[in-house]
């Protein structure tokens, strides 16, 4: 599997759009891997997780052919993970020469937000399907299972277990500590790649997002329960500017732990 990290920031971006704090000024000055847009990944150029407001920028920056994407899985409806209005750009008049519909999957608020944005979509261009926790979707190329997150008490937020060509990926954000039922489902399953929320960096743990300490605790439990081993890879992403950590600060913390720090445009092969 090819995993392309399109964006690696929390809701405000890093640096924040309007922010003039010390951290954002440093990020702007240093540039490069310190410039982070709202989070999303692309798998093998055809399966996408989340549809943030920076998607068009990702398309231009990384030369992505978004018309090739067949499946879009949305974790939750927060504005940094879903700009449903831009789905209209896949409908007739706005897009031409498309060979297949884009299949969008999400729970309750995601489906509602998408339908409000595009009305009744053209079935040849766009389909919107509600999925529930522990439901598995066979896309034809991958098997994707929705798992409960611990994020927003007013919405059913999802994490994803993805299996393709004998490889497995756990997409673990936005979330705080994993719910018991998610741990139970993962029991007995080996993971090649684990992607975890590290929104809060070295700030105190808040419950709906992870910090460094919580990331290490999840990694350690996965290791002790045999879900990951020495061949598995763990990646952290979704960083808030409030943590005040540049990319090199994060790598100094995580490199000794064998954990990789995602940055915008990073590509992994597992």
Residue 269 has pLDDT above 90, yes or no: yes
pTM > 0.95: yes or no = yes
Q: On the CB side of 85, how many CA atoms lie within 13 Å of its CA?
A: 4
The structural domains of the chain, with segments of one domain joined by +, span 2-269
How many residues make up the chain in this entry?
270
Q: How many CB atoms lie within 10 A of CB 20?
A: 9
Per the prediction, the chain carries an average pLDDT of 97
> Per-residue pLDDT averaged across 183-212, rounded?
96
pLDDT digit string, tens, across residues 117-147: 998 778 899 999 999 999 999 999 999 999 9
pLDDT, one tens digit per residue, over 1-51 is 999 999 999 999 999 999 999 999 999 999 999 999 999 999 999 999 999
Which CATH superfamily does the domain covering 2-269 fall into?
Ribonuclease Z/Hydroxyacylglutathione hydrolase-like (3.60.15.10)
Structure tokens at 196: 């975890």
Secondary structure class of 246 (helix, strand, coil): coil
- 43, exposed or middle or buried, with CB in 10 Å at 0-12, 13-18, 19+? buried
**DSSP percent split of the chain into helix, strand, coil, nearest 5:** 30, 25, 45
Q: What is the DSSP string of 173-232?
A: -S-SSPPHHHHHHHTT---SEEEEE-TTTTSPP-SSS--HHHHHHHHHHHHHTTS--TT-
């Amino acid at each position: 599997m090819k995993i392309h990290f399109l964006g690696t920031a929390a809701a405000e971006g890093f640096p924040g759009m309007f922010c003039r704090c010390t951290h954002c000024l440093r990020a702007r000055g240093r540039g490069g891997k310190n410039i982070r847009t709202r989070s999303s990944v692309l798998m093998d150029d055809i399966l996408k997780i989340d549809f943030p407001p920076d998607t068009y920028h990702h398309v231009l920056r990384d030369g992505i052919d978004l018309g090739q994407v067949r499946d879009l899985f949305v974790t939750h409806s927060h504005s940094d993970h879903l700009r449903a209005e831009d789905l209209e750009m896949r409908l007739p008049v706005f897009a031409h020469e498309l060979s297949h519909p884009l299949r969008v999957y999400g729970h309750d608020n995601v489906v509602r937000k998408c339908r409000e944005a595009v009305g009744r979509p053209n079935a040849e261009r766009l389909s919107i399907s509600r999925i529930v926790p522990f439901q598995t979707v066979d896309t034809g190329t991958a098997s994707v299972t929705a798992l409960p997150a611990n994020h927003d008490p007013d919405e059913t937020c999802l994490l994803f277990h993805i299996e393709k060509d004998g490889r497995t990926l756990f997409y673990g954000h936005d979330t705080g500590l994993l719910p018991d039922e998610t741990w139970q489902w993962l029991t007995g399953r080996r993971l090649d790649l684990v992607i975890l929320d590290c929104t809060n960096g070295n700030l105190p743990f808040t419950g709906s997002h992870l910090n460094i300490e919580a990331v290490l605790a999840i990694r350690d439990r996965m290791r002790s329960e045999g879900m990951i081993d020495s061949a598995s890879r763990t990646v952290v992403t979704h960083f808030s500017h409030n943590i005040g950590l540049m990319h090199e600060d994060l790598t100094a913390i995580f490199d000794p732990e064998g954990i990789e720090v995602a940055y915008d445009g990073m590509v992994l092969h597992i």
